[in-house]
Structure 1
Amino acid sequence: MITHELIERIEGEAVLDFKTDKNGRVQDAAIRFLHFRGMEAILEGRNALDALVITPRVCGICGHSHLITTVRMIENIYQNAGVMIRISDKAKAIRTITLSCELIQNHIKWLYLVMLHESGKMLGKEPAVALKALYVSSAVNQLCAVFSGQWPHSSYALPGGVTCDPTHIEVMQALKILSDVESFIRDEVLGCDFETFIQAMRDNEVLKLKGDFGTVLRNFETLGLLEKGKSHGRFLVLEAGVVMNGVRSDTDIALVSEDVSQTFEHGGKTYAKNALYQGEFYETGPLARALVEERAGISDLYRVYGDSAVTRLSARVDEMVSLCTQVRQLLASLDLSQPSFIAPPAIESISGSGVGILEAPRGTLIHRARIEKGKIIEYSIITPTQWNLGNGIASNLGVAQRAMIGAESIAKASLLFRTFDVCSVCTTH
């Protein structure tokens, strides 16, 4: 039987086409994204610096990621044109702080607005009140705005640095907000301190966690999904490495490609292009980052459960914890005496090509462009969802496709789909 499932409560919408047997078990799944936005075409013909305002609007959740990736790309164009770009450690740290804030708030929203809500609804539970999650994610955005001026869609980063020049008082304000966020993660998300959480993963005792994350895991256990959702076991962090069959190796951007065979213009049923590495689908995002970094806790869970739901869920929550630690260290060591911005030559004097690569909330993000005397001639974006939610064929299934096949029902397959933190609008950019 063929069933079409509209997936909402994500950034945008998606349609899943399921083929099930007589018992309702999923035999095949196809993923379709139906809203075209044309951001790449909008950028062509414009001044390269216009991209600093336009690309943050590719996504309403990860605009900072697109901004920083764009900045890195333009700086790479300068460098490839033989122009040295100087960036202070202070500016680099501020970019990392704001980007980390974006990841933290994204993961909090995903946990509460999607995973806790949807898993509870399947069990007939009253949907959990998400106001506390919205409050704390708003606090994270306030921390980000101390440096970026606003969230979302800020354009505070530019080639050569950042536009902000924070004071000691603003750094103290940021540290106070961070302390509140850390308290929320300890008390509400985990129900324990950070060290106990990491040890629980190492000891395979995450189901004993008392916080809201523990509730999500127990919901998945009740639904029989805790060890479901396994995919190819191939993981990519383009700037750091790949892991396949438990073996880590270096990466090469020349091995990245886009496949348009499933798009409408080639007879397919989606506006999303597939992103491939060595011609195959690789999972990107928090689980990939944790495994490539060999981070304690997640690596232990992976050895027991593989790339199943319990590991994938835990990886995103674990990243909240590690990012809070990173932000605290950067705020504490910020040298405010350094310049925030060191002006490069005018972009109108520059011609060439470049690439920006960054780890966004959902995984590896790539921006490429070719400019002539500062004007964009070509622009290309590969977003994380293109890697994770690509629609492949039987001989080369996408990551989420593979994870859904074999699920006992369409409802359970759809919940496994959501564990990848779905984003539609950036996928059909």
Structure 2
Amino acid sequence: MITHQLIERIEGEAVIDFRSDKDGRIEEANIRFLHFRGMEAILEGRNALDALVITPRVCGICGHSHLIAAVRMLENAYAAAGASVKITPKAHSIREITRVCEVIQNHIKWLYLVMLHESGKLLGTEPSVALKALYVSSQVNQLCALFSGQWPHSSYALPGGVTCDPTHIEVMQALKILSDVESFMAQEVLGCSSEMFESRMSREFLLSLKGDFGTLLRNFENLDLLDSGKSYGRFLVLGEEKTAIMNNIRSASDIGLVSEDDSQTFAQGGSTYAKNALYNGEFYETGPLSRSIVTKRPGVTNLYQHCGDTALTRIAARVDEMVYLVAYVRELLTSLDLSEPSFIAPSAIESISAEGIGIVEAPRGSLIHRATMEKGKITAYSIITPTQWNLGNGTPEIPGIAQKAMIGAESSAKASLIFRTFDVCSVCTTH
């Protein structure tokens, strides 16, 4: 039996074509992204600095990640051309604060606006938590905007640093907002302190949590989905940690092994605009679970060792990352040296002819911006987004990460919920 499922309540839209047996169990899932935006083509022929204005508009959720990837790409091109670009620790920390705030607000929206609603809908108990989520995510965005000037679509980072020059008052405002977010995490998301959460992470403890995260996990337990969603157990981080894991064997990740596959796209007679992103010719998972396994976050690592890459582990990794990153923002704010310059001007972009690569760990995984330029003009631009890794559309014989995770689900509705554990985004996927 063939069924078609439109996936909404995400950034953009996606369609999944399910093939199931006579009992409704999923045997095959074909993922389709049906919108084309042409962002890469728009950048060709433009001044390279235009990428700092255009690429944040690739996505309305993770525009900062695209901005930071673009500015890293430009700085890498400067280095490739033999030109020096200096970044102060202050500028680096401010970039990190804004990038991390974006990850935190994304995870909050995913938990409250998607997962709690969709799992509750299947149980007939859809909760009223949207206003709660929107309030706290707006608080995180206000913190971000203290440094970036606005959210979303900021262009405050540029080669050599950032355009903002925060004062002590703005740092204190940021710390006040962060305290409110920390209270929300403890009281609403977890129902316990972050210290208790991180030290006692086990299946039994997580299911006993009184907060909204515990409610989500109990929803999955009632739907018999906690142990579902297993994929290949291959993990990839191309950002700072630079690690690939296959068959529990670690190796340093190599950007040279990254490739795109367009065999499933409309250009090749397929049914999607999204290309697949591959590492060494294979599908690899990126995102919070990959980052947790690579950095050996103790709670998530323990869950993975006992449960594998199940829905339970994947959901827990995203919430655990949210908690960890809130503490990281506090560390960055309290260590800012405001006496340092925010910006050190490099040579003119018109003097640069080179290729540059910028890599960022975005909310959903590894994001890559690659461009070549001649005398400061972009001649080619390529973006590989996290969704291309996790939601790649393979074949029945070699399914992509999310495709494999959905196979065996009892129904298309349950398979769609498993699909959402990967934090689906489509607008940044289709260029």
Cα contact 1:362–1:385 (8 A) shared by 2: yes
SS at match of 1:8: strand
- 1:203 deviates by 6.9
> Distance in 2 between the 1:255 and 1:186 partners?
41
Paired position in structure 2 for 1:349? 351
Paired position in structure 1 for 2:283? 281
Cα contact 2:118–2:126 (8 A) shared by 1: no
Indicate which of 332, 335, 359 corresponds to 1:333: 335
Paired position in structure 1 for 2:274? 272
Paired position in structure 1 for 2:188? 188
* Corresponding position: 1:100 with 2:100: yes
Number of aligned pairs? Answer: 429
Q: How does 1:19-418 map to 2 (within 5 A)?
A: 19-202=19-202, 204-239=204-239, 240-418=242-420
Identity among equivalent positions (%) equals 74
Describe the superposition over 1:370-418 as per-residue Cα deviations: whole angstroms up to 9, x where unpaired: 0000000000000000000000012321000000000000000000000
Cα contact 1:116–1:128 (8 A) shared by 2: no
Describe the superposition over 1:296-337 as per-residue Cα deviations: whole angstroms up to 9, x where unpaired: 100000011100000000000001111011110110010000
Equivalent residue letter for 2:109: K
> Distance in 1 between the 2:146 and 2:98 partners?
9
> Distance in 1 between the 2:249 and 2:414 partners?
31
> Distance in 2 between the 1:93 and 1:131 partners?
31
SS at match of 2:371: strand
- 1:198 deviates by 1.4
Equivalent residue letter for 2:371: A
Please provide the CA RMSD for this pair: 0.8
Flag structure 2 segments of 5+ consecutive residues without an equivalent: none
Cα contact 2:4–2:18 (8 A) shared by 1: yes
> Distance in 1 between the 2:304 and 2:310 partners?
8
- 1:202 deviates by 4.4
Equivalent residue letter for 2:302: D
Cα contact 2:113–2:129 (8 A) shared by 1: no
Flag structure 1 segments of 5+ consecutive residues without an equivalent: none
Alignment TM-score, normalising by the size of structure 2: 0.99
Cα contact 1:290–1:315 (8 A) shared by 2: yes
> Distance in 2 between the 1:317 and 1:395 partners?
33
Cα contact 2:116–2:126 (8 A) shared by 1: no
Describe the superposition over 1:213-238 as per-residue Cα deviations: whole angstroms up to 9, x where unpaired: 00000000000000100000000001
Paired position in structure 2 for 1:427? 429
> Distance in 2 between the 1:26 and 1:53 partners?
43
- 1:130 deviates by 1.2
Describe the superposition over 1:342-372 as per-residue Cα deviations: whole angstroms up to 9, x where unpaired: 0001101111101000100000000000000
Equivalent residue letter for 1:68: I
> Distance in 1 between the 2:18 and 2:237 partners?
30
Describe the superposition over 1:153-198 as per-residue Cα deviations: whole angstroms up to 9, x where unpaired: 0000000000000000000000000000010011000000011111
- 1:243 deviates by 1.7
SS at match of 1:312: helix
- 1:247 deviates by 2.4
> Distance in 2 between the 1:288 and 1:209 partners?
24
> Distance in 2 between the 1:180 and 1:62 partners?
22
Cα contact 1:280–1:396 (8 A) shared by 2: no
Cα contact 1:204–1:301 (8 A) shared by 2: no
> Distance in 1 between the 2:8 and 2:352 partners?
43
Flag as ranges the 4+ runs of structure 1 deviating above 4 A: none
> Distance in 2 between the 1:330 and 1:21 partners?
52
Alignment TM-score, normalising by the size of structure 1: 0.99
> Distance in 2 between the 1:227 and 1:244 partners?
21
